[in-house]
A and B are shown apart, each in its own frame.
Chain A
Amino acid sequence: MAELECKDVTLGYEDRTLVEHLNFEVNTGDYLCIVGENGTGKSTLMRTILRLQKPLVGSIEYGDGLRPTEIGYLPQQTIVQKDFPASVREVVMSGCQTKAGRRPFYTKDEKKLAEVQMERLGIMKLSKHCYRELSGGQQQRVLLARALCATEKMLLLDEPVSGLDPKVTAEMYKLIQMLNEQGISIIMISHDISSAVKYASHILHIGDHVFFGTVQEYQTSSIGRRYLEEA
């Protein structure tokens, strides 16, 4: 079965349904972009995949060796983080919290893993810097390194390029593409439809009409054509 399978899911809150009968799957190595207007339930879907909230109807199943806790998450910046005194190393290390489990301290292997990931994302020389003083692009790299400490299987990215300038945005997309080519499945929420069709393998469009399929199918579908023209 697929790594992640979403079966007839309805999302929303007690008094309001956001999206109904959602069906899609993510297989190993896929690069899925979730697009759609604001308020259509993209973030709710993301929270549901991460099991931070429950779907109203339906279920999300995890398979192909993927445990639900093996989804690395790249959240949008929270207000707390804007003045949090933490070094890059400390933030990346915290990605190992699942591996540490009930053990209070990190092992040598876990510290090594954090260094490997910082090296991989080119932030090794920033390791002693303060997280809150980095540029937006650097902060995203730090959070990516943290997510990679938690998993090598699947990354969930919540608008990873919002607020970044065009050059850094391009670098970020290249970086995500590189990770995808190394075998990590990617699920990304995005507003940037032109980059979505450029880099992703699959598109999930949420809104009045729901679409799920490959990028090629999306580009030829009526909903996809309309949305791409508007962009």
Chain B
Amino acid sequence: MTESIQLIMNYIANYPFVRYALIVSVLIALCSSLLGVTLVLKRFSFIGDGLSHVAFGAMAVAAVLDLTDNMILVLPITILAAVLLLWTGQNAKIKGDAAIAMISVGALAVGYLLLNKFSKSANVSGDVCSTLFGSTSILTLKTGEVWLCVVLSILVIGAFIFFYNKIFAVTFDESFSKAVGTKTNIYNLIIAIIIAVIIVLAMNLVGSLLVSALIIFPALSSMRVFKSFLSVTISSALLSVVCALLGILISIGAGTPVGSTIVAVDIVAFAIFSLIGKLAGRA
């Protein structure tokens, strides 16, 4: 135990990429937890999953095109998909979950097909695996990517705080908001864009298959215990950051994959919060 801690401290002190990884994880974890409550309550939990598969498809296209910075392609495509899914969701011909399922598996299949056929990499399955489960990507970020993550995270947090009251109103009762003159379409659009940015960010941390976990677990855990929107939001943010940090430190110490370790910690936290909620409810 002490040996592992020493090992971790050693890493943090000597390797800048470990410090970068820690900073970026904290920011990404913070962002990804913010809209969790909204997604869970609007019955959009799976949108994270769907969008991350779209992002995977876009990543594959970027890899095939040999782009040096794949964010240029991945971010706009994911935002576009989010807008299509969330914004037009109410009056689309194909309803919510079916549309998400279709787009997500479609993107996943095409992405893998492209990578398999056209990739110049020697280790295709390794690449695919790390995009899906984010095995080591958080530790291999370049300085440019670190800055991009930092800037996007700050934008997301800023936008969330700025639109906090409106996001609450639109999530709680969209009809009422619309009736009293709030432009709910615009706020739904803003929510969709923020979600897309969060997903592209979070893919770096846990990989595209595990993104949803990062978004919904902290929110679901906090909803077990806390009773106001503000306290749930704050609790989700803190919980998400703590779980991400713990997960990343454990993964360095124990040599486990980063993404799945973080999600495992999230699951444990969920169990603990559920228990607290049950006990508090009985008291």
Contacts and interface: CB of A to CB of B under 8 A. Distances in A.
Interface residues of B, number: 32
A78 B169 CA distance: 14
Contacts, number: 98
Secondary structure at the A interface, as helix, strand, loop or mixed, is mixed
Interface in B38-56: 41-43
Nearest to B164: A104
B229 interface: yes
B178 interface: yes
A6 to B, nearest CB: 17
Contact of B168 (A69, A90, A151, A156): A90
Given A81-B172, A85-B228, A94-B168, A150 B180 contact: yes
B264 to A, nearest CB: 25
A226 interface: no
B169 A52 contact: no
B173 interface: yes
B168 A86 contact: yes
Given A86-B228, A94-B165, A97-B166, A81 B173 contact: yes
B229 A90 contact: yes
Given A80-B42, A87-B229, A98 B172 contact: no
Interface string B227-267: 11111100000000000000000000000000000000000
A85 B229 contact: yes
Contacts of B229: 84-87, 90
Nearest to A77: B173
B124 to A, nearest CB: 43
B223 interface: yes
Most interface-central of B42, B43, B182, B227 (chain A CB within 10 A)? B227
Among all A-B residue pairs, the 10 with the closest Cβ atoms: A69-B181, A130-B227, A87-B228, A50-B179, A94-B169, A73-B179, A98-B180, A85-B232, A150-B180, A104-B162
Given A98-B181, A98-B182, A104-B161, 9 more contacts: A51-B178, A75-B175, A78-B175, A83-B41, A85-B37, A86-B229, A90-B168, A90-B228, A129-B227
Interface of B: 37, 41-43, 161-166, 168-169, 171-173, 175-182, 222-223, 226-232
21 contacts: A50-B178, A51-B179, A68-B181, A69-B180, A73-B175, A73-B176, A80-B43, A84-B171, A84-B172, A85-B229, A85-B231, A86-B172, A87-B227, A93-B165, A94-B177, A97-B165, A97-B180, A98-B182, A104-B162, A104-B164, A150-B180
